[in-house]
Amino acid sequence: MRAALVLLSLLFSPLVSASEGAVSASDTIRLVRQDCGSCHGMSLQGGLGTPLTREALAGQSAEALAVIILHGKHGTAMPPWKSLLSATQAQWIAERLLEGFPEEKQP
Amino acid sequence: MRFGWLLASLMLTACAQTPLRGTGDLGIVIERANGRVAVVDTTAKSVLGRIDGLGDLSHASVVYGRDGRHAYVFGRDGGLTKVDILEQRIDKRVMQAGNSIGGSISQDGRLVVAQNYTPGGIKVFDAVTLELLAEVPTQSKVVGLVDLPGQKFAYALFDKGEIWVTDLSDPRQPRTEKYPAGLQPYDGLVTPDGRYYMAGLFGEDGIALLDTWRPELGVKKILQHYGKGEEKLPVFKMPHLRGWAVAGNQAYLPAIGRHEVLVVDKGNWQEAGRIAVKSQPVFVMARPDGRQVWVNFAHPDNSWVQVIDTLTGKVIKTLQPGKAILHMEFSPRGEHVWLSARDDHSVHIYDTQTFERVATLPAQSPSGIFFTSRAARMGF
């Protein structure tokens, strides 16, 4: 019950993005599953990009992952997302990735 | 007894209600979130039915057996499913790898080959039984697998920067030739005649070109330095080369990290021009007659589609058909184009002469669209 509530609040809490105002968590989940998924796989098990599962990322800090998300990894196909994601969003994604990323709810 | 009779009569009615039909105007739409494909009719512009249970279909692709009836669906989770689109059912399914990206079918239609990320390599299957016949390990992610004449397959190795050509004339004894290609090939294509194999490079400007009629000449780099040393824009989605756009004497290719389509002269493989487009191209596809080239774009501009007139080299139409246009497929002779709009949960059908929308079909998160006309085309 508690867990469900936390999940619900996660899903509906607005994420504040510097440029675009409030972005909903469900939009961000969709972006990660669909658009990061074009390289990392929709299930985040990996593709051209490395796996982003909880197991694969174990031991890394959310801060370090957020930096990679915002600035990309030079010399690899990982692009910088800072023109599309705020630092808050990147941090939020990094934290969720470390916990095991939430599934997109089906329409 | 009574029941048996009823069943028999039911079956008879069922048969009577399913008239014989061909498959030339059929196709498949991948519904990527649901592990399901829709079987579609391009004449009636309708969904005939759905086939479930195909696993993770993000980035799935399809090739057709030459009967135009059996389709092989390659899923992201390494599943290879053979479906019968007339009976709308799964014929066979195997889990062949941890992480796969697509596949190809041999010239004679007897071999289906899968290209895999994890573990890297290709696997060769009997097209009838899906029995595994051979494997070629690569220690690298495999991209851009295509069929070539003579039971050969060409593909590129993302991590190793090579192009490999494997001869499967004896399917259990693959013979492979290797050619250095360049940094991080991300996809490949073969020209419609099956002669030239091209691999787009992500790690450097340029395209690696192999003349498979004269492989002894090795790989030549074309369009080198098309970025002229300028910092490329962040690439949020890898372009695809597979739906080649060869129209007349020119080939049209997506530029990496630039808002451009590159035009190459097929005679000398020199750059013949560039066409400025709305954003970073993902698919650059020629209408079957080659008069138009349709282009879709990477996130966040993926609601747009542009049409290039190949005679003038100009963008003649800019459309905003729907949210997240992931793929485009022309009807066999190109009077219509089908566009999958993932975030609208729809497939939109446009007339390619008038650019009017002629129909919209519902589909859950549609991605790839594959018509049976691919069955007879090399490299598809």
The fraction of chain A above a pLDDT of 70, given in percent, is: 78
Nearest CA in chain B to A35: B299
| Chain A interface includes B119 (CB < 8 A) | no
CB-CB under 8 Å, A48 with B234:
no
Please report residues of A whose CB lies closer than 8 A to that of B342. 34
Residue of B33, B77, B143 with shortest CB distance to A106: B33
Query: Do the domain assignments include residue A71?
Result: yes
pLDDT of residue B109: 96
pLDDT of residue B14: 47
Mapping DSSP onto H, E and C, the string for chain B reads CHHHHHHHHHHHHHHHHCCCCCCCCEEEEEECCCCEEEEEECCCCEEEEEECCCCCCCCCEEEECCCCCEEEEECCCCEEEEEECCCCEEEEEEECCCEEEEEEECCCCCEEEEEEEECCEEEEEECCCCCEEEEEECCCCEEEEEEECCCEEEEEECCCCEEEEEECCCCCCCEEEEEECCCCEEEEEECCCCCEEEEEECCCCCEEEEECCCHHHCEEEECCCCCCCCCCCCCCCCCCCCCCEEECCEEEEECCCCCEEEEEECCCCCEEEEEECCCCEEEEEECCCCCEEEEEECCCCCCCEEEEECCCCEEEEEECCCCCEEEEEECCCCCEEEEEEHHHCEEEEEECCCCCEEEEEECCCEEEEEEHHHHHCCCC
CB-CB under 8 Å, B236 with A84:
yes
| Chain A interface includes B363 (CB < 8 A) | no
Question: Is the pLDDT at B5 greater than 70, yes or no?
Answer: no
Query: Do the domain assignments include residue A15?
Result: yes
Query: Tens digit of pLDDT for each residue in A2-48?
Result: 444 444 444 444 454 444 445 788 889 989 998 898 899 888 988 88
Residue of B34, B59, B234 with shortest CB distance to A47: B59
Interface mutation vs chain A, best among B118, B236, B299, most A CBs within 10 Å: B236
Mean pLDDT score, B319-329: 95
| Chain B interface includes A20 (CB < 8 A) | no
ipTM for the predicted complex comes to 0.79
Q: How confident is the model at residue B82 (pLDDT cuts 50, 70, 90)?
A: very high
Q: How many domains does chain A have?
A: 1
| Chain B interface includes A49 (CB < 8 A) | no
| Chain B interface includes A24 (CB < 8 A) | no
Please report residues of B whose CB lies closer than 8 A to that of A106. 33-34
Provide the token pair at A24.
């909903």
Residue of B98, B234, B324 with shortest CB distance to A80: B234
Please report residues of B whose CB lies closer than 8 A to that of A47. 59, 76, 99, 101, 117
Query: Do the domain assignments include residue A90?
Result: yes
Whole-prediction pTM value? 0.89
CB-CB under 8 Å, A107 with B345:
yes
The fraction of chain B above a pLDDT of 70, given in percent, is: 94
| Chain A interface includes B179 (CB < 8 A) | no
If you average pLDDT over every residue of chain A, what do you get?
Answer: 82
Query: Do the domain assignments include residue A22?
Result: yes
CB-CB under 8 Å, B141 with A72:
no
Query: Do the domain assignments include residue A104?
Result: no
Contact B315, B308 (CB under 8 A): yes
Among B5-19, B287-301, B313-327, name the one with the lowest average pLDDT: B5-19
Question: Is the pLDDT at B137 greater than 90, yes or no?
Answer: yes
pLDDT of residue A15: 54
Residue B3 exposed, middle or buried by CB count within 10 Å (0-12, 13-18, 19+): exposed
Please report residues of A whose CB lies closer than 8 A to that of B56. 41-43
CB-CB under 8 Å, A41 with B58:
yes
Q: How confident is the model at residue B78 (pLDDT cuts 50, 70, 90)?
A: confident
| Chain A interface includes B325 (CB < 8 A) | no
If you average pLDDT over every residue of chain B, what do you get?
Answer: 91
Query: Tens digit of pLDDT for each residue in B192-214?
Result: 889 999 999 998 888 999 999 99
pLDDT of residue A16: 46
CATH number assigned to the domain comprising residue A47: 1.10.760.10
Domain encompassing residue A94: 2-99
Query: When comparing pLDDT for B42 and B55, which is higher?
Result: B42
Query: Do the domain assignments include residue A45?
Result: yes
* Alpha-carbon gap, residue A23 to A29, rounded angstroms: 11
| Chain A interface includes B55 (CB < 8 A) | no
| Chain A interface includes B76 (CB < 8 A) | yes
Query: Do the domain assignments include residue A105?
Result: no
Please report residues of A whose CB lies closer than 8 A to that of B299. 35, 38, 84
pLDDT of residue A8: 41
CB-CB under 8 Å, A84 with B76:
no
Query: Do the domain assignments include residue A107?
Result: no
Query: Tens digit of pLDDT for each residue in B27-37?
Result: 999 998 778 99
Question: Is the pLDDT at B292 greater than 80, yes or no?
Answer: yes
